Amino acid sequence: MELELPIEQWSDSVSTVVLGATSEDGGTRTSTVTLGGAATLPFLDFEGEAPNPPVLAMEVLDTEPEGWPEPLAAPFGDVLGDPAAWAARCVEEFDADLICLKLIGADPLRRDASPDECAETVRKVLDAIGVPLIIWGCGDYDKDNEVIPVCSQVAAGERCLLGTAREDNYRTIAASALADGHLVIGESPLDISIQKQVNILLTEQGVPGDRIVMYQVTGAVGYGVEYAYSILERTRLAALTGDTMLGMPMVSIVGSEAWKAKEAWMEEPAWGSLERRGILWEAATAELFLLAGTDMVIFWHPEALKHTRWLAKDLSKS
Amino acid sequence: MALTAVEIYKFLPKTNCGDCGVATCLAFAMKLAQKQAALDECPHVTEEAKQELEGSAAPPMATVTVGRGERELKIGGETVLFRHDETFHNPCGLAVTLDTSLPDEQIQQRIEQLEAARYDRVGFMLGVDLIALQDGGDGRLAQGARLAGEHSSLPLVLMSTDAGAMKAALEVCADGRPLLCGATTDNIEAMLPLAKEYNCPLVLTADSLESLVPLSETAAEAGSDQLFLDTGAQEIGRIQSDQTIIRRMALNKKFRPLGFPTLVACSAADPTQQMLQACSAIAKYAGIVVVDVADDEYLLPLVTARMNIYTDPQKPIQVEPGIYPVGEPDEDSPVLITTNFSLTYYLVEGDTMASKVPAHILAVDTNGTSVMTAWAAGDLTAEVIAEHIEKFDIADKVSHKTLVLPGGVAVLQGKLEEEAGWEVKVGPRESSAIAQFFREQGWAAK
Ligand code: B12
Ligand code: SF4
């Protein structure tokens, strides 16, 4: 029997954003990454096109992480103190599509690393990898305003993704991105109207829609998914129904969020293998966000990425 | 969709005979629309009209009960595609398989393992909801059902396509209203009468969405409405499409043959892949997922994800604001400040319990939001905390005047000391560090 499929007629699609510039485009990247473009809800290929598969990134910290549980630290061996080597391993051994460099060391409450030191790290990481780079600040508004412009400059022309621009802290980052040919992450705290406002502010400052990626602070399974899932789903619906100021691709952080959950790291025999638990927590978190509509996921553990790579393939089968 | 009085009126005899107890057919239609009367109070309504009216009054997706008693599950009856539109009502059931061709001792061990797979989360016990007995074709399904009945009160799914084996098992366990899984194109003629005779719900399994429809129509003709649908999808992409199509056909198109909850049996060989199959089915619309994996590390993310998906995002799960004892605190025990968001409260309570230092926890009314959310929203301020200290008369419970604040809101310290007149210590950012904090502060474990 032929079933008449219940297809929704969407009026719009998610915008397409390209990260990274190869030599043809004036950069030095050896590959680029394309985000977004979907004209349907996630993974419903009976309904419409989703030309670009989910993008899987890995996070690298500019400061050696302290207190990482053994199952998380083990795959990295001795590179955790060396961002460039860490990044190279993620690409070469762990199959990351791109790297997200988090400059947590710039935080005045941590190392208070100087803008020049941060920029030096950015340069080393760029040299160590051919894939595109996300440059993510420390989260301290004022410090990010000092650090990001300098980092943006050393990476000029590479079409990096700079983050994060917030409602009350977007001008400097937007200006850097425009000056040096980068893209911007607009951030909001799980709030669609704030997200829209951030995107409007960025657009008004001249950042075009195909240079913005949305980050709606996420959370992990058991720790905020009940909110984040619906926020992402509603955002994707808004994009498909023609709200261009919510039509950009989305990025979700899952590594650092999942490993915050005590289910990921705490010794507790009733919860099963500690070896695998964190990986599973991270993979399940990534899956829910992909199903809700995120376009790029940022991992910590290489195994979680590997399972998600399988998932992305399986999701494209129907 | 409920019909209006005018729509109902069209189906009534329009003779205004008054036999229904009201003067006119229209008045009777109005009572029906308000659910103050039942259709059979009109003795003249035609059979045809009855069917039309009852059909359109039925919910677009049936609610099906599996099991009996305390652990019975109500599944289906969902009304929306997106949980932000309303909420999902009846949490997806998690079934774990048990191979009945195993020797009895191993069956028993597996049952014990599944009974033990229970996890305390924010005051709720989460775990396996059903045992799925898998027929190995060796005549032992009934024995499996017997053992399951003896050692567990979990509802059962009987997984067999052999009507003979199914009947034998039903002789043992039909009282518990197991789910029969199930009927296929080849055996539906034998399975439908069994489901009817023993009054049990039935899964219709096909190898595609299209071939489910005639199966469902056959079941409807036989008068069955306690059904589950299974398209046999394994690829996660297909699970997503099939589940979405079924839900949309049921709710948006009111297409009866697909107006039932679904069952997704996950069978990827790799356990992580199987967990991902199941997790995708939980997120998108499955009524029951069946998995083979039974190790806690796979089940824990699944039951947690399910809880998240079935939590109403408009109404955070909360605890009553107030002062709670952990262990057996006395007048020297520390007083910890936190919020009344269940997740926050139970994390703090659990970590405090683990520290073995008896303590008082003050759950401040933040409308059920987390520490940082409440702080950012202006719901967790020095004034609010001071009011709670007053209101719950903390000074009466302890002889000291020291409070412990969550590290995330250290900025409130000075203001709170001023407002409340208590000394305020800043605790760690994460409650998991509370034990260490107590040690450093010299609060002793008991
Ligand atoms: C889910 C979430 C929401 C949900 C609400 C969930 C809820 N019921 O609270 C929603 C979507 C509604 C929401 C809304 C907002 N949010 Co919000 N939200 C989050 C998110 C993702 C997770 C919060 C969470 O559940 N954490 C888990 C709980 C258990 O954490 P917790 O309560 O802090 O408890 C821990 C510690 O504090 C500590 N602890 C707790 N009690 C105690 C006690 C003692 C004694 C000790 C020692 C320790 C301790 O231990 C616990 C476990 O580690 C966070 C970001 C993140 N990933 O953390 C943002 C976040 C908290 N939100 C934020 C903001 C700004 C908001 C809004 C104000 C945004 C807006 N303007 O709309 C609104 C406010 C809504 C309102 N008016 O009520 C910001 C806060 C920024 C800041 N640092 O001030 C955050 C950090 C996101 C961000 N980075 O921007 N949010
Ligand atoms: S009994 Fe039936 S026909 Fe007679 S008034 Fe009532 S509704 Fe009309």
Cα B168 to ligand 2 centre (Å): 50
Answer whether residue B1 is part of any domain: no
Lowest mean pLDDT: which of A11-20, B2-11, B268-277? B2-11
Residues B388 and B429 placed together within one structural domain of the fold: yes
Q: Quick one: closest CA in A to B249, which residue?
A: A6
Q: Tell me the percentage of chain A whose pLDDT exceeds 90.
A: 92
Q: Could you give the CA distance from residue A286 to residue A276 in angstroms, rounded to a whole number?
A: 15
For residue B398, pLDDT over 90 is answered with yes
> What interhelical angle do B413-420 and B382-391 show, nearest 10?
40
Q: Is the shortest distance between the CB of B434 and ligand 1 below 6 Å?
A: yes
Domain assignments of chain A as residue spans, ordered by start: 16-315
Best of A2, A4, A287, A297 to substitute, by most chain B Cβ atoms within 10 angstroms, is A287
Answer whether residue B28 is part of any domain: yes
Ligand nearest to the CA of B30: 2
Residues B251 and B337 placed together within one structural domain of the fold: no
Q: Is the shortest distance between the CB of A189 and ligand 1 below 6 Å?
A: yes
Q: Quick one: closest CA in B to A217, which residue?
A: B373
Answer whether residue B221 is part of any domain: yes
Q: What pLDDT is stored for residue A318 in this prediction? A: 67
Q: Is the shortest distance between the CB of B376 and ligand 1 below 6 Å?
A: yes
Q: Is the shortest distance between the CB of B42 and ligand 2 below 6 Å?
A: yes
Ranges assigned E (strand) in A147-238: 161-165, 183-188, 212-216
Q: Could you give the CA distance from residue B368 to residue B123 in angstroms, rounded to a whole number?
A: 14
Residues B135 and B195 placed together within one structural domain of the fold: yes
Q: What pLDDT is stored for residue A149 in this prediction? A: 97
How does A96-133 read in b/e, with b if 16+ C-beta sit within 10 Å? bbbbbbbbbbbbeeeeebebebbbbbbebbbebbbbbb
Our CA angle for A190, A191, A193, nearest 5°, is 155
Residues B300 and B327 placed together within one structural domain of the fold: no
Tokens of B282: 């939980």
| Strands B93-99 and B227-230, bridge-based pairing | unpaired
Residues B160 and B233 placed together within one structural domain of the fold: yes
Tokens of A262: 């005590």
Answer whether residue B181 is part of any domain: yes
For residue B220, pLDDT over 50 is answered with yes
- The CATH number of residue B18's host domain is 1.10.15.40
Average pLDDT over residues B192-198: 96
Q: Quick one: closest CA in A to B215, which residue?
A: A1
For residue A81, pLDDT over 70 is answered with yes
For residue A39, pLDDT over 80 is answered with yes
Inform me whether the C-beta atom of residue B425 falls under 8 Å from chain A C-beta atoms: no
Greater model confidence, A213 or B445: A213
C-alpha R_g of chain A: 19
Q: Quick one: closest CA in A to B247, which residue?
A: A6
- The CATH number of residue B174's host domain is 3.20.20.20
> Residue of the nearest CA to atom 6 in ligand 1?
B369
Nearest to B214 among A1, A229, A314 (CB): A1
Tokens of A170: 């977007």
Q: How far is B343 from chain A (nearest CA, A)?
A: 8
For residue A217, pLDDT over 60 is answered with yes
- Chain A residues touching B245 at Cβ < 8 A: 3, 5-6, 46
Q: What pLDDT is stored for residue B1 in this prediction? A: 45
Residues B86 and B224 placed together within one structural domain of the fold: yes
Whether the Cβ atoms of residue B428 and residue B348 lie closer than 8 Å to each other? no
Residue in B359, B384, B345 with CA at minimum distance from that of residue B441: B359
Average pLDDT over residues B203-212: 94
ipTM over 0.85: yes
Q: Is the shortest distance between the CB of B18 and ligand 2 below 6 Å?
A: yes
Q: What pLDDT is stored for residue A3 in this prediction? A: 80
- Chain B residues touching A262 at Cβ < 8 A: 347, 432
Inform me whether the C-beta atom of residue B436 falls under 8 Å from chain A C-beta atoms: no
CB contact under 8 A, B273 and A310: yes
Residues 151-190 (B) with a CB less than 8 A from some CB of A: none
Domain span including residue B16: 7-54
Residues B49 and B24 placed together within one structural domain of the fold: yes
Answer whether residue B315 is part of any domain: no
Residue in B385, B384, B375, B373 with CA at minimum distance from that of residue B313: B373
pLDDT per residue over A145-167, tens digit each? 999 999 999 999 999 999 899 99
CB contact under 8 A, A280 and B297: yes
Inform me whether the C-beta atom of residue B217 falls under 8 Å from chain A C-beta atoms: no
> Residue of the nearest CA to atom 16 in ligand 1?
B373
How confident is the prediction for chain B on average, in pLDDT? 93
Nearest to B83 among A45, A230, A280 (CB): A230
Residue that terminates a domain, selected from B282, B309, B336: B309
CB contact under 8 A, A229 and B283: yes
pTM of the model: 0.91
Residue that terminates a domain, selected from B288, B309, B330: B309
Lowest mean pLDDT: which of B56-60, B193-197, B233-237, B256-260? B56-60
Q: Is the shortest distance between the CB of B23 and ligand 2 below 6 Å?
A: no
Residues B21 and B85 placed together within one structural domain of the fold: no
Q: Is the shortest distance between the CB of B369 and ligand 1 below 6 Å?
A: yes
Residue in A156, A132, A154, A161 with CA at minimum distance from that of residue A30: A132
Q: Could you give the CA distance from residue A64 to residue A307 in angstroms, rounded to a whole number?
A: 26
Has domain A16-315 been given CATH number 3.40.50.720?
no
Q: Is the shortest distance between the CB of B122 and ligand 1 below 6 Å?
A: no
DSSP designation for B81: S
Cα B39 to ligand 2 centre (Å): 10
- Chain A residues touching B272 at Cβ < 8 A: 276, 279-280, 283, 307
Residues B210 and B285 placed together within one structural domain of the fold: yes
Best of A41, A109, A291 to substitute, by most chain B Cβ atoms within 10 angstroms, is A291
How does B8-46 read in b/e, with b if 16+ C-beta sit within 10 Å? bbebbeeeeeeebebebbebbbbbbbeeebebeebeebe
Residue in B217, B289, B223 with CA at minimum distance from that of residue B259: B217
Whether the Cβ atoms of residue A176 and residue A202 lie closer than 8 Å to each other? no
For residue B2, pLDDT over 70 is answered with no
Residues B94 and B230 placed together within one structural domain of the fold: yes
Residues B149 and B200 placed together within one structural domain of the fold: yes
Q: Could you give the CA distance from residue A284 to residue A295 in angstroms, rounded to a whole number?
A: 16
For residue B54, pLDDT over 80 is answered with no
Q: Could you give the CA distance from residue B24 to residue A159 in angstroms, rounded to a whole number?
A: 75
CB contact under 8 A, B304 and A307: no
Residue in A251, A56, A256, A55 with CA at minimum distance from that of residue A165: A251
Residues B44 and B110 placed together within one structural domain of the fold: no
CB contact under 8 A, A230 and B273: no
Average pLDDT over residues A17-31: 97
Answer whether residue B164 is part of any domain: yes
Cα B15 to ligand 2 centre (Å): 6
Answer whether residue B178 is part of any domain: yes
My answer on whether omega of the bond before A164 falls inside 30° of 0, hence cis, is yes
* Number of compact structural domains in chain B: 3
Inform me whether the C-beta atom of residue B83 falls under 8 Å from chain A C-beta atoms: yes
Q: How far is A126 from chain B (nearest CA, A)?
A: 33
Q: Is the shortest distance between the CB of B15 and ligand 2 below 6 Å?
A: yes
Residue B356, SS3 per DSSP: coil
Residues 356-395 (B) with a CB less than 8 A from some CB of A: 376
Cα B371 to ligand 1 centre (Å): 6
Answer whether residue B235 is part of any domain: yes
